[in-house]
Structure 1
């Protein structure tokens, strides 16, 4: 079992605002993106197999699963502040990024710096559940959403890579304690929002989000060696 914290580092970029109206109809005035970062407690477990391949070297494979509730909301969505046909947009959309469960399958290679202390590195494939939300309400004037009000949530299980390391100590009997850190990168998820608002003449609520998801996870753990 393990207990620790997970830092979610999400970079949200916005493009193709109201593409029905053509290039240049929307002019961003505060950049096209920004960070939506959060930190949350993480609870999980892990198991694996290790083999001593020489006097001081240990190699193995490990899998883990964890859950945390990372969530951050930003208002407005990065990249939506600007001018539409030369007039300031109002009623800008809010957006959020949320990470819940994660898991990984990794190789491990460690060195015994003392008979009961192992320093190791690890790396492999990782998975992350990511949820994006965007919402806005039609308001009088040059409203961002003028086809309809929206509240949309999209989810995806992202696959990526992870690398890290830690220190493991035999604390007595068959019990092992560890301190561990891992970095994971889940690539960029491209998602269009508000397409249901219509794309005919006179309205187009759409925009496209490009969210690059990365995490930093630090845990302490305890395990039983069979």
Structure 2
């Protein structure tokens, strides 16, 4: 029997193809949000001073995402993604001048973003940026007969940036970890308790860390 040389074996052995990130995918994610929010009311403090009440909502989120990637010949990966999350995120602040508590709740959030990364075979570190939106509610909680009085219930629009890494542990299933910073902007609000013409607004920013699982079609 003729012996095959190492060169012959090398020429006939199959070479594993690199993973291709191109295609449509969808999945689920969950995570934790730490928010920064401030309620500003002009002239509502003692002696007519301005009031700034930190609310800082925090809590857990869970949602879905869908996106598409295109891997280029140089291993750069470009894509677009949208996500929507239900939020169990809230915070409390003390409105000293009115002798009441303020409760803030982030009900849902979502974004539409572009992504860019570089593929190391089955590992894809990436950056992402785009527009986002969030439903933000606020109520005054009093000890009197009024109970909980809604003072803000609007959708905030803003922007988001972040970075993450994905790992394709099979040809179809992809795990990810991602960090995002979002600025949902500032909204003017009306507080009937303080009378008409009172200048007041509330802003919202969030830091969140998410883990997710996607299926590539």
Counterpart position of 1:97: 104
Counterpart position of 1:171: 169
**Residues 152-163 of structure 1 aligned to structure 2 (within 5 Å):** 152-163=150-161
Gaps of 5+ in 2: 1-27
User: Which of the numbers 102, 120, 128 marks the counterpart of 1:122?
Assistant: 128
TM-score (ref. length: structure 2): 0.78
- Structure number with the higher helix fraction is 2
Structure 1 residue 61 displacement after superposition: 0.4
1:223 aligns with 2:194: no
The answer to whether the 8 Å contact 2:43/2:51 transfers is no
**Residues 29-108 of structure 1 aligned to structure 2 (within 5 Å):** 32-75=51-94, 77=95, 81=97, 92-108=99-115
Aligned residue pair count: 190
Counterpart position of 2:180: 182
Gaps of 5+ in 1: 19-24, 82-90, 139-147, 200-205
TM-score (ref. length: structure 1): 0.75
Larger Rg: 2
Structure 1 residue 184 displacement after superposition: 0.6
Task: Specify which structure has the bigger relative contact order, considering alpha-carbon pairs within 8 angstroms and separated by 6 or more residues.
Answer: 1
**Whole-Å Cα distance in 2 between the matches of residues 61 and 126 of structure 1?**
14
Instruction: Give me the CA root mean square deviation.
Output: 2.6
